[in-house]
Every structure is written in structure tokens, then in C-alpha cells.
Structure 1
Amino acid sequence: MTTPSVEPLELPARLTAPPRLTQRHPWLLPVAVATHRARRRTRWVRDAWSGRVVWATQRTGSDLPVRVKQHGSLLLRELDPDRMHLQHNKVTNLRLAAGRVDGLVVAPGQTFSFNKVVGNCTRRKGYLDGMRLSDGSADAGVGGGICQLANLVHWMVLHSPLTVVERSEHSFDLFPDQGRMLPWGVGCSIVYNYVDLVVRNDTDRPFQLRAWVGDRYLHGQLRTDEPPGLRYTVEARDEQFLRRDGRVFRRNQVWRRVIDRRTGEQVGEELVKRNCALVVYEPGPGVEVLELD
């Protein structure tokens, strides 16, 4: 019996690049952050002034009549009991951030920026220390946990004709799949204001985001004003765990299928993203890990 061939493992640049200057000299991090933020603000102003980008700002409490996609994600995960307070703080952070997103209408030709809409999550605005993911570790930080809202928005957008202009994912797989409802690799990384989720409406119909925090779930809906002619399904393919040089990596492909609502037939499909991340936990029983030379 022959061993199936395994495609070469191509690692993300962030896992192969030498340590960044701010990693070697952490005292430089505030300067780097301020520089990144200034560049992003300059781009926001320049794009708006030139007319190249029209930012979505209008909100309404009235639902557009057609629900395109809805989803709910569990608010609390079972983690170390000493860190569960960060999970509860996250709920407060999500409630504040969801209130900024809820009701936003992205009209034809407009662009949605998660960071522009939610803003900087500071203590002055009521945000608490939640769990933030950075360089393969989960640490406490003000506003931690709002990535869950960005993940929810991105998932709903993938089920629509809206165009994802910018999205950054994590280079590390921090938690096992217990209780996972969405395919691995569709999440987002958010850092105000220079790591963003940006979505453009290239259609001729308006789309509305609804988001709110319930008792157990963060809820979201994507709505529009007329029934769309197409629907979308998103799935992960070629899921693999690979061990090389003592480290375990995870990779897959995220695909989107396009289906005609009238006939039920598939009319297209596209590769959304190839994912590869360093796994920082030991895969449990039943997870096959392929050994690489």
C-alpha cells in the first residue's frame, strides 16, 4: 500500500520572517502602532477626499425586508477558570461594538470598514479587558474579543454578493475545534485601526447589517430590499494537520459555491482562501497528523 503524497508545506510569511524590530525591541511598539494608525487615517481622508471611497455611515433601526443570512456564535467558551472573567468582559465589549454596527446600511457603491464603524475600543468608552490574540498567545487587553463580531460579519458577507476588499487572518490556531460551528480559517484579525475588515458593495441593492448580544449568543443578520437571485454556501476542503521539525501546522482551503435560487443548480464556485497556521495546542485523539520530512 502506497503512502498518499502530501503537497509541500508553504508557511505564512509571518511564520518564516525574522523577528520584527518591535519584537526585538518591545519599547518601540507604541511608536510603530502610532505610525500605522497615522498612515491609515491619512488613507481614509485621502480616499474620501478623492471620491475613490464612499464610507458607509447611515444607520436605521428599521429592517430591510429580505434576510440574506443570519448566524449566532456562542459567547462563552470553556477556558481556564482563572481567565473566565476575560470571557465575561468580552460580552460587554461585544455589546458595545455590536451597537455601533447594528442597523448600518451599505448602499450601492459604498464601503464598510469595521474599524471606522466600531472605532477605537478604549476604557473611556466602557470597554474592558478581554482576550486578545497576538503572536500565538492569548493575552488580556482592552477591547479584547471584538474579533468575534468581525468574524460574524465576514461569515455573513461570504454568503452575499458583497466584495471583501481587506481581511487579515490569524497565523496561529490557538484552540481545538470543540464546539466549532464555522469552518476553520474564515475568521478575522482586527487591530485598530490598521488591521481591518473592509467590504464594498458593488451591487445595485443596499445591504444592512444587524448585530446584537443575546443571553448565550452573539447574533447577526445581513438584510437587503429584494430577494437575491443567487445563494452561497461556504465550506472547507483538504483539511490537514502536518508536523514538521517538531511543530504542527494546520491548513485547508475555503471554497464558496454559487447556486441559482430558482433552479437550485450550482452556477459557479471560487477559492476564497488558502489557510496555513501554526497549531499551538497538541491535536487530540482522532486527529490525524501527517509527518513531513
Structure 2
Amino acid sequence: MDSKQVSKPTKRSYLRGLMGREYYTLRRQLKWFANSSTFARQEPGTKLEHSIIRHKTMMLRPLRDVEMYLQHNKITNLRLAIAPINDIVIKPGQTFSIWRNVGRPTAKRGFLEGLVLHNGKIEKGIGGGLCQLGNLLYWMALHSPLTVAERYRHGFDVFPDINRKIPFACGATLAYNYIDLQLRNDTKDSFQISLKIDDEYLNGELISSRPLENEYEVFETDHLIKMQPWGGYTRHNRIWKRTTSLIDGMTNEELVTENHAIMMYNPLLTA
């Protein structure tokens, strides 16, 4: 079968989806409980010194047919989500999990309606918009020696590109709590995540306990838009990581992932 042939999305009943989500949520919580000592935690007062990468993403984007209040709500959701993550230290042998630190995003905790993707459709949901946090953290992790222990790609290309600065599909989708982004520290150094929100951007920085011996570059190849037999369009690429030694200049290229996403817009009308 052609690896770039993508099946048409399957629609599942609301009840089946709800039961499935609660099952996987409970299973993940039990896993957290059994392995609690291996997860990274916030350490107030700890400040590492050596910046590895800084990255920022725009908070408010001109998205077609999207009510602006949902994007303003997203900012509130992101502020709540980064509070238990900011300045967290990932020590050697530890794993960082977004959801284990953030917890369930509920209205009772102050989370608001935002954009969520459900069965290939844009909907409103409490805590929507947190994928922007997953995207930023994943991009920074790719520019470090941290191991991406768990990451889920976006199955849909939702909006046309607007001033794209990084390759397509270099993000990480999130859904509490079993669709997570987890980063494992297999090195001898500690790493700290720093996050803040200003008037325009979600800002992130990854900091190390000592200078790194390598530098990292992330790039794409084989970008393709393809029409599928069932009439829709899909978008594909490969994401690579190039590691260059700062000691001897030796380089190594590693295939990070292949992306295959269903486009939710007609590329011929947005070109």
C-alpha cells in the first residue's frame, strides 16, 4: 500500500468516544501513580544558566471563521497551564509530562472554552488551545539531547499556513491525559523549562546545567500534498534532526518522524 494513501476518517459514536477516553484516562493515572518517582517536578528557586534554545509563538492569529474570543480564552488557558510547568527541572533519568503537571483542564479550575479538534472537526471545548504549548515544547526538545518519549502528531492540517517559520507538522497534539508530550532525560545533565506570556507571544526557553557539546538543526524533506481516492487532500513530509559536534564538527542525521495529515481546507483555493 502507498504510504501516502490515507483512509477517510472514521466517525465514532459519542458514547463510544466518551467511554474510550475515560478508560485511557484512568489507565494513564494508574501508570503515573506506579512511576511517580521518575517524573520531573518544579523546584522553586532553582535557576540553570546555559540557554540552549529560545522559541516563541504568536498568541492571536487571523484564523478564518474562528471567533476571536476563543483565542483570547486560549491565552487564559495557557497562563493556567504554564504555571505548574514554568522552571521545572528535568534531572538525569527523569521524564517530563505535560499532563501530569498541568492536570485536567476544567471550568472549576478556571479554564475557558477554546478551539479543540474532535473527529476532524473544529469545536469549542474547555481548555482548548493548549496544543500551542505542546507545539512549542516539542520544537525546543528537538533542538536538545532530550529524548521524546511520547508524542502524538496532528492527524489533521486544520488551517492554511500563515507566515510559517518552521516545517509543517513539527508540533505535538494534546488531549487529557493519555495524548501527552513526554520528554525523557537520558543524559548526565539537568534541563530546565522556562515559559512566559507577554502581550503577543508564548515564549519558551530550554536551559541546561552546562554548555552542550552539540548543536541541533531540524529540517523537512519530501513535502507533498496529495489528493486521495475518496476525494480529500492530504499533506505529507519527513522531519529530520541534524546533530553537529562542537568538538570535531562531525554530523549525524536522524529521521524523527513521518507526517501524514488530512487537510481540512482545499489547497487549490488557498495557494
The correspondence for 1:10, drawn from 4, 15, 20, is: 4
Q: Does 1:32 align with 2:20?
A: yes
Alignment of 1:214-233 (within 5 A): 214-233=198-217
- Secondary structure, aligned partner of 1:144: coil
- Measured in 1, the distance between the counterparts of 2:45 and 2:5 equals 44
Q: Scaled by the length of structure 1, what TM-score is found?
A: 0.86
Quote how far apart the aligned CAs of 1:236 are: 1.1
Quickly say closer, same or farther: Cα 1:82–1:39, change in 2 above 3 A: closer
Matches within 5 A, 1:169-180: 169-180=153-164
- Unpaired runs of 5+ residues, structure 1, are 1-6, 288-293
User: Does the 8 Å contact 1:109/1:201 carry over to 2?
Assistant: yes
User: For 1:140, which of 124, 144, 148 is the aligned residue?
Assistant: 124
1:82/1:186 CA distance change after superposition, 3 Å? closer
1:82 and 1:18 map into 2 onto residues whose CA distance is 25
**What does residue range 110-129 of structure 1 map to in structure 2 within 5 Å?**
110-129=94-113
Distance change >3 Å, CA 81–CA 173, structure 1 → 2: closer
CA spacing shift, 1:143–1:77, aligned 2, 3 Å = same
Deviation for aligned residue 1:109: 0.6
The match for 1:290 is none
RMSD value, Cα = 1.9
In structure 2, the partner of 1:276 is 260
Match of 1:47 in 2: 35
Pairing 1:73–2:57 present: yes
Superposed CA offset, 1:149-191 (max 9, x none): 1111111010000001110111111111112222111111111
Mean alpha-carbon deviation: is it higher for 173-182 or for 143-152? 173-182
Rate the CA distance shift 1:31–1:183 in 2: closer, same or farther, 3 A.
same
Contact persistence 2:60–2:200 (CA under 8 A): yes
CA distance in 1, matches of 2:112, 2:85: 19
Deviations along 1:70-115, one digit per CA (max 9) or x if unpaired, are 1000001112466111011001111111112100000001010111
Partner residue, 2:174: 190
Q: Distance in 1 between matches of 2:30 and 2:112?
A: 28
Q: State how many pairs are aligned.
A: 270
Using the TM superposition, name which of 268-277 and 278-287 deviates more.
278-287
Check conservation: 1:257, 1:266, Cα contact below 8 A. Answer: no
| Rounded Cα–Cα distance in structure 1 between residues aligned with 2:104 and 2:144 | 28
Please tell me the residue identity of whatever aligns with 2:238: Q
- What amino acid is aligned across from residue 226 of structure 2 in structure 1? L
C-alpha distance in structure 2 between counterparts of 1:82 and 1:235, whole Å: 30
After TM superposition, the structure 1 = structure 2 runs for residues 257-268 of structure 1, keeping only pairs within 5 Å, are: 257-263=242-248, 265-268=249-252
Deviation of 1:30 (Å): 2.8
Unpaired segments ≥5 residues, structure 2: none
Cross-structure match for 1:106: 90
Alignment of 1:56-71 (within 5 A): 56-71=40-55
Q: Is the 8 A contact 2:5 2:228 kept in 1?
A: no
2:78 pairs with 1:94: yes
1:119-167 deviation digits (Å, cap 9, x = unpaired): 1111111110010122222111000001101111111010000001110
Distance 1:11 1:285 in 2: 22
Taking the aligned partners of 2:225 and 2:143, their CA distance within structure 1 comes to: 27
Q: 1:208 to 1:276 in 2, by over 3 A?
A: same
CA displacement at 1:282 relative to structure 2: 1.1
How far apart, CA to CA, are the structure 2 residues paired with 1:130 and 1:16?
26
CA displacement 1:195-243 (0-9 Å, x = unmatched):
1111110000000000111110000000011110001000111111111
Query: SS of 2:35's equivalent?
Result: helix
Residue of structure 2 in register with 1:248 after alignment: 233
Query: SS at 1:153's partner residue?
Result: helix
- Normalising by structure 2, what TM-score? 0.93
Structure index of larger Rg: 1
Of 47, 64, 69 in structure 2, the residue corresponding to residue 85 of structure 1 is 69
Distance (whole Å) between structure 2 residues aligned to residue 75 and residue 107 of structure 1: 30
- 2:85 and 2:100 map into 1 onto residues whose CA distance is 10
Partners in 2 of 1:273 and 1:202 — Cα distance? Answer: 20
C-alpha contact (below 8 Å) 2:51/2:205 kept by paired residues: yes
